[in-house]
Structure 1
Amino acid sequence: MSTSPTISPTNVAIIILAGGSSSRLGKPKQLLQYQQKTLIKHAVKTALQTTAKPVIVVTGFLNEELVVELENERVQLIHNPDWQEGMGSSIRTGINALGKFETVTEIDAALMMLCDQPLITTEHLNCLITQFYADKRSMVVATAYAETKGAPAVFDKTLFPVLEVLSGDKGAQWLFKNYEKELKVVAFESAAIDVDTEEDYLRLIKLSGNNNP
């Protein structure tokens, strides 16, 4: 699927959620190496090559380390002081920060992505954005994989007030059911590859055809 040339770079913002402590992994997943880049830098590079703008990175546990890691990237870093609450608090932080941008009135939607899905491509992110604009009724466009729906996902600006009050570890998946009639999906099976455990990371490295990170 090709990228629509009519999409303005300022219509969709990307929010990369990178606030967790990677407790299941036992070490910061954001700084794991994959194809000569850290996972967080890999996600940022993928996002920056899309039609979306701005790109926001929500930090938390690793705030100082990520500030250093991304100091030369064209992203806005926002610290979530309540990162221990879970993903819901990072989504809330990102949306609240987006509301303070001067160009917020021009933004149609926010694309939420995670830092631990390194097989996500720029092309897929652009496909999500294209699908969002292709159907005027779309309020949510999610990624379909492994018989489920999840991130990355695009959320219409009319849902920002809902996302702004998320709390705890409650993500935005419940919106998929609440807005089922306005939900569109774009299939991308490789989204199923994420990094939550050491086994996940080793599997990723094996899939990349390289025994070394």
Structure 2
Amino acid sequence: MIDAANITAVLLAAGQSRRFGADDKLLAPLADEPLALHAARRIAELAPGRRIAVCSNGDGTLAAMLSGLGFDIAVNADATSGLSQSLALGIAAAARGPELAALVCLADMPFVGTRHLQSLLARFDPVSAPVVASSDGETAMPPALFDRALFDRLRASEGDRGGKALLSDAALVMASAGELADIDRPDDLRRN
């Protein structure tokens, strides 16, 4: 178990959203507020030691909203380089602080609740469970918690796979049905 004060939460919010169309999906409305703010608010409720959001533009609307919720902004100006670039930037920012682990969340997963995030922290152990991932019963996925000893490996990942290689040995925490759904297309907003 790790206390929330001893982690950095990293919110990845710099994707290209190609399947969503021309609009910025992270600013698309879901239940009367921008999609990305749902994940950001659950992180804020968790009260981690630090909050970092990786955005494609440090001066944009999304960065301003997230900054208003207490997130430090790391900029990934080259979103075409894939998820791993955003992950590397977020983990590099996390490594500059004293926190013992990083909780990596995706801004397009608006249904993950604070209770699930707390369950990830409760399952964490730096020796027996240095990686704790969410699961839908079939797959290990974000949100995921990584011990500080793994930061260098996370920063070295490439492409769109992010920290997936490390998730293969993760301790798993089951999420409730639909909680790990992500938003990829405009129709996904209408279904939820």
* Length-normalised TM-score, structure 2: 0.90
Q: Is the 8 A contact 1:146 1:192 kept in 2?
A: no
Shift of 1:22: 0.8
CA change 1:18–1:191 in 2 (3 A) is: same
Give the distance between the partners of 1:40 and 1:140, measured in 2 at CA. 24
Mind listing any 5+ residue stretches in structure 2 that lack a counterpart? none
Aligned residues between the structures? 190
1:35 aligns with 2:31: yes
CA change 1:11–1:62 in 2 (3 A) is: closer
Give the distance between the partners of 1:190 and 1:17, measured in 2 at CA. 20
1:117 aligns with 2:109: yes
Alignment correspondent of 1:17: 12
CA change 1:124–1:55 in 2 (3 A) is: same
Mind listing any 5+ residue stretches in structure 1 that lack a counterpart? 205-213
Q: Is the 8 A contact 1:63 1:79 kept in 2?
A: no
Shift of 1:199: 2.1
Structure of larger gyration radius: 1
Alignment correspondent of 1:207: none
Q: What amino acid does structure 2 have at the position aligned with 1:147?
A: E
Shift of 1:99: 2.1
Alignment correspondent of 1:92: 88
Which aligned segments of 4 or more residues in structure 1 are displaced greater than 6 angstroms? none
Alignment correspondent of 1:191: 179
Indicate the RMSD between aligned Cα atoms, in angstroms.
Answer: 1.9
Percent of paired sites with the same residue: 29
Q: Is the 8 A contact 2:136 2:174 kept in 1?
A: yes
Q: Is the 8 A contact 1:21 1:61 kept in 2?
A: no
Alignment correspondent of 1:151: 142
Shift of 1:52: 1.9
Alignment correspondent of 1:57: 53
Shift of 1:61: 5.7
CA change 1:61–1:20 in 2 (3 A) is: farther
Q: Is the 8 A contact 1:8 1:51 kept in 2?
A: no
Pairing partner for 1:127 from 119, 131, 142: 119
